[in-house]
Amino acid sequence: MTHRRVVVTGLGIVSPVGSTVESAWEAIREGRSGIGPITRFDTTDFPCKIGGDVADFDLSKYLAAKEARKTDPFVQYGIAAGSQAVNDSGIEINETNTARVGVAMGAGIGGLTTIENNYRRYLESRSPRKISPFFVPSSIINMISGYLSIMHGLRGPNLALVTACTTGTHSIGVAARAIAYGDAELMLAGGAEMATTELAIGGFCMAKALSTRNEDPEGASRPWDSDRDGFVLSDGAAALMLEEREHARARGANIYAELIGFGMSGDAHHITAPLEDGSGARLCMENALRDARIDASEVDYINAHGTSTQLGDVAETIAIKAAFGPHAAKLAVSSTKSMTGHLLGAAGAVEALFSVLALRDQILPPTINLQTPGDGCDLDYVPNTARDARINVVLSNSFGFGGTNGTLIFRQPD
């Protein structure tokens, strides 16, 4: 960041590997997969029958039953993760600071469950009276930020970005810049998604994007492995409370990490496929390094986009080599998607959270299910088992449909 310094003072998560920060992080450290059979609808005719449902989630902790009926599950997940992060930060929001605390929580797709259910009721009845009056506000993407703003009294910037699988990363980066440029003292930022629905699973199946390793759900997400056959769709949310560094110090906040760099780029190439030479991703990482004002050799670990697709995994590997040169051979690079699956608009926020915890605990998360690296996949992917390491700087990548790229860089707090 080129202006005021930004730190992380709160964390929250709802995910297939756990719906508290410590339970999710324990699963990641231990290399446990959260992928299983899809049970919320009949998958008989679907090529892919597996996904990552949220684990151990109790909505009643965050929303009353009456209010919950007005919200899509993706909004509920975002509310839960955001509320955890607010509470974890220890910030007391009152009349003196309410205008200086904002929120930026997005999603990649939005309220598919609500859209599907309401359209189904309409088709069955052919009457608009069967459409819920809460249909629109329960399914639009900015409602996560809207609810969190109302529930916690956040009267600062109220934003919702939509950049496909880069949403969570972009939300955190843009929120950090709002602090760096003086628009807020604190920003709650991240992403949420609930896309293991008939339409989304069906659409991704028809695009041949999803793994069909249905007999081995826990082994289906296998970034960089020679037997990878697509990504696994998952649900959940994550949020980081970002705060101006001196503000956090003055109130004695627990500082997890400093967010020192944010980079963006566009592939200008294809709506779904990455540039084969990885040049869009390389540019994004280089922009983040420039923003952080550090040399590439200072990065210790990369939490990769690593979706388990044939093209994407190789392109990201090529991009890392191009951006880091000889240092790429010394880098640890892993994909926590091997355990969580791909949470689309929430993925970047989930992976930013794990990056921050890797710094806190000095642990490199593993890439599970990596038995034989595929062609062109020749970095240190921390295969199968977490590893203790000295980590000072972590980089987290996200790349989305439309060729939109985002990179965050975190450093140990000083």
Is there a contact between 21 and 13 (Cβ–Cβ < 8 Å)?
yes
What's the CA angle centered on 244, arms 239 and 246, to 5 degrees? 140
Give the C-alpha separation, 134 to 70, whole Å: 6
CA-nearest of 164, 141, 161, 112 to 401 is 164
In angstroms, how far is the first alpha carbon of the chain from the final one? 16
Give the C-alpha separation, 17 to 26, whole Å: 9
Give the C-alpha separation, 341 to 344, whole Å: 9
Please give the C-alpha separations between residue 283 and each of 263, 264, 345, in angstroms, as whole numbers: 8, 8, 21
Give the C-alpha separation, 396 to 84, whole Å: 22
Q: Which of 48, 152, 165, 170 is catalytic?
A: 165
DSSP assignment, residue 295?
Answer: -
User: Which residues, at least 6 apart from 129, have a Cβ–Cβ distance to it below 8 Å?
Assistant: none
Is there a contact between 13 and 346 (Cβ–Cβ < 8 Å)?
no
User: Which residues, at least 6 apart from 134, have a Cβ–Cβ distance to it below 8 Å?
Assistant: 69, 70, 71
Residue 186: phi and psi, rounded to 5, are -135, 145
Q: Which of 170, 284, 342, 377 is catalytic?
A: 342
In three state form, how does the secondary structure of 396-413 look? EEEEECCCEEEEEEEECC
Token couple for 155: 């009267």
How many CA atoms, within 13 angstroms, populate the side-chain half-sphere of residue 384? 7
Give catalytic status of residue 165 as yes or no. Answer: yes
Give catalytic status of residue 305 as yes or no. Answer: yes
CB-CB neighbours of 385 under 10 Å? 12
Is there a contact between 177 and 262 (Cβ–Cβ < 8 Å)?
yes
Give the C-alpha separation, 40 to 207, whole Å: 22
Give the C-alpha separation, 153 to 102, whole Å: 9
The owner of tokens 């446990």 is: 32
Give catalytic status of residue 327 as yes or no. Answer: no
Q: Which of 152, 205, 305, 377 is catalytic?
A: 305
Indicate which residues carry an active-site annotation. 165, 305, 342
